[in-house]
Amino acid sequence: MDNSTVKEFEKSKETTLKLLEKLKVFLDVGKDAGVDIDPSLNKKLEDAINKIGTTKLKVALIGGFSEGKTSIAAGWLGKIEANMNISQQESSNAVVEYNIDDKIDLVDTPGLFGFKEKNIGAEKEEAYKDITRKYISEAHLVLYVMNSVNPIKESHKDELNWLFRTLNLLPRTVFILSKFDEVADPADEEDYKEVFKIKKDNVIGRLKDLIRLDSKEEGELSIVALSANPYGKGTAYWLSHMEEYKKLSYIDELQKDTTEKIRLNGGASAIADEVKKTIISDILTKQLPLAKKATLELQPQLKMLNDSLKSNDTQLKEIERDVEQAIIDLQKFVQHYFTDLILQLNGTDIQSFEEFFQREIGKDGINIETTIQIKYKERLRVIGDELMVLKNSVDGDVKAYDSTMLMLAKDGVNYLSKSGMITSKSILAARDFLGISFKFKPWGAVKLANGLGAALGFVSLAMEGLNLYLDKKSQDDFEKAKSKLKEDLESSKEELLKNLGNKKQFDEHFPDLISIKETIRELKNALDEKNAHSVGLDKWLKEGEAIEAEFEEISHIEYKP
């Protein structure tokens, strides 16, 4: 079918379908990004897509009896449907529907203005109006056919107000001065134009009087003058002589106006406008500004937290390097310290052992324990201080992050805030790092006392002067005791070096280092997620704004079925 109005309608459908598909992807992306998308919106969108895909151009013919509506329809279509009733005495009290090439639903409604002349009564008149309302309420295009001799009568006032004010059909209507060849010569272009101007002004004037047509509506009014059956030769004849028919009928003027009406006021854009009122209103009008505001507020917070996280991560790595160096230093200390003790022990005899024992070992090994405690504290104090500084900084970052998430949740942007509170409980309370570092003894007091029992008992007797003579057995016992003490010192050295060599076990002396490291990792993951989310949301916002602009472009009509 070579009909420009149908082509415009199909183009409108295609444009709108593409936009609705784009909107569907937009909603899916938003959902994947965590935006709260009402499931009913997707259902409405699917329904709209299906509706547009199956929608045909709906055209309603309105006018009085015997005004040539069906002839005009045939001329506009460029073909006569088999069931079209076309005669000089056209008149029907029933609605006639034509399905044209599965692209157009054409509805020829009962005449409205012959009711009073026919004296059909108020009941039947209201029935005609009900039938007309049913079929024109969803029409994309209304062809309002008038008698060219007397286009609009005072008696039409009620029907005109019902059609164009109550039903709001004016934006979708093309007014047609029918059978114009009865008032002007279609072959005389000048005469045709002159009479058309007079009749057009008459129509505008009557509409101003009867329905209070305003200046804006007047500027948008479509009025054409047609001779659907010039010289009474019959529609079938003229449709087989299209070139001459177009020239005499001015049917192209009707095509031009109906095409423009579809472009501006009907077609699939009407459905798109309804989608705009629901989905666009909810997502683009309500959620986009909120998300945009949240993104603008979130970005500087993320930058600050990212900068602080980078600084804290650097500090953490420095502390970990300090811990590694401390392990090396303490390993060297333990190695040298116990080696020196063993060398001193090897050089003692019964007379010099007492001094060595009191100076280096002490009761229950207290001197060794104290020496090691002091060395560990000296070496690890700086690390402890650095950890406290880092802990406070990380704790501040966590509080700032949680505060930002709470702010977003308060503003209603739950999809940015809902995956992510990092509670400060993951960082242990401030403590004396060094005071809890040694929950072990480097060798065991009981073990030491037992190992030295025989030797110390013997030495004690010797020092008291009870027996200054050492026989061979006594000397052997003393050497055995020294050997046992040496084994205990070697065992203690081995235990300490083993502990220092086990990184995981050594890290247990710094429980806050472990928790701080875990919190930094958790915060980094959260910030990475939020950074990616922010970038994705910003892209989503721009896409939404572009879609909204496209909807504004195709949905600029007042379509009120």
Mean pLDDT computed over 338-349: 94
Structure confidence by residue, pLDDT tens digits, 259-287: 888 877 655 555 666 666 666 666 666 66
d(CA 144, CA 114): 14
Q: Which among 78-82, 366-370, 542-546 has the top mean pLDDT?
A: 366-370
Least confident piece of the model among 157-166, 262-271, 309-318: 262-271
SS (H, E, C) 508-557: CCCHHHHHHHHHHHHHHHHHHHHHHHHHHHHHHHHHHHHHHHHHHHHCCC
Statement: residue 171 has pLDDT above 80: yes
H or E element at residue 373: helix 366-410
What confidence score (pLDDT) does residue 278 get?
64
Statement: residue 217 has pLDDT above 70: yes
pLDDT confidence band for 441 (50 / 70 / 90): very low
Statement: residue 193 has pLDDT above 90: yes
H or E element at residue 308: helix 288-346
What confidence score (pLDDT) does residue 440 get?
29
Could you give the maximum distance between any two Cα atoms of the chain, in Å?
160
d(CA 277, CA 492): 81
d(CA 497, CA 500): 5
C-beta separation of 137 from 131 below 8 A: no
pLDDT above 90 as % of the chain: 19
Mean pLDDT computed over 164-177: 90
Statement: residue 118 has pLDDT above 70: no
C-beta separation of 506 from 499 below 8 A: yes
Structure confidence by residue, pLDDT tens digits, 331-340: 999 999 999 9
pLDDT confidence band for 75 (50 / 70 / 90): confident
Statement: residue 464 has pLDDT above 70: no
pLDDT confidence band for 62 (50 / 70 / 90): confident
d(CA 165, CA 68): 25
d(CA 374, CA 366): 12
Rg of the chain's alpha carbons, rounded to an integer?
49
What confidence score (pLDDT) does residue 431 get?
35
What confidence score (pLDDT) does residue 438 get?
33
Structure confidence by residue, pLDDT tens digits, 33-52: 667 777 887 888 888 888 88
Q: Two tokens at 102?
A: 């599965």
3-state SS class at 224: strand
Average pLDDT, the chain: 77
Mean pLDDT computed over 509-525: 82
d(CA 386, CA 443): 30
C-beta separation of 416 from 530 below 8 A: yes
Structure confidence by residue, pLDDT tens digits, 85-95: 544 334 455 67
Mean pLDDT computed over 288-310: 79
What confidence score (pLDDT) does residue 453 get?
43
**Which domains does the chain carry?**
56-266 (3.40.50.300), 293-422+490-549 (1.20.1050)
Place of tokens 């129509």: 203
What confidence score (pLDDT) does residue 136 get?
78
| Better pLDDT: 467 or 213 | 213
What confidence score (pLDDT) does residue 432 get?
38
Q: Two tokens at 439?
A: 């929950």
pLDDT confidence band for 17 (50 / 70 / 90): confident
**Which has the closest alpha carbon to 89: 60, 111, 62?**
111
Looking at the DSSP bridge assignments, the partners of residue 142 are: 60, 173
pLDDT confidence band for 343 (50 / 70 / 90): very high
Q: Which among 55-69, 314-328, 402-416 has the top mean pLDDT?
A: 314-328
Statement: residue 168 has pLDDT above 70: yes
| Better pLDDT: 289 or 328 | 328
What confidence score (pLDDT) does residue 208 get?
96
What confidence score (pLDDT) does residue 556 get?
53
| Better pLDDT: 145 or 280 | 145
d(CA 520, CA 316): 9
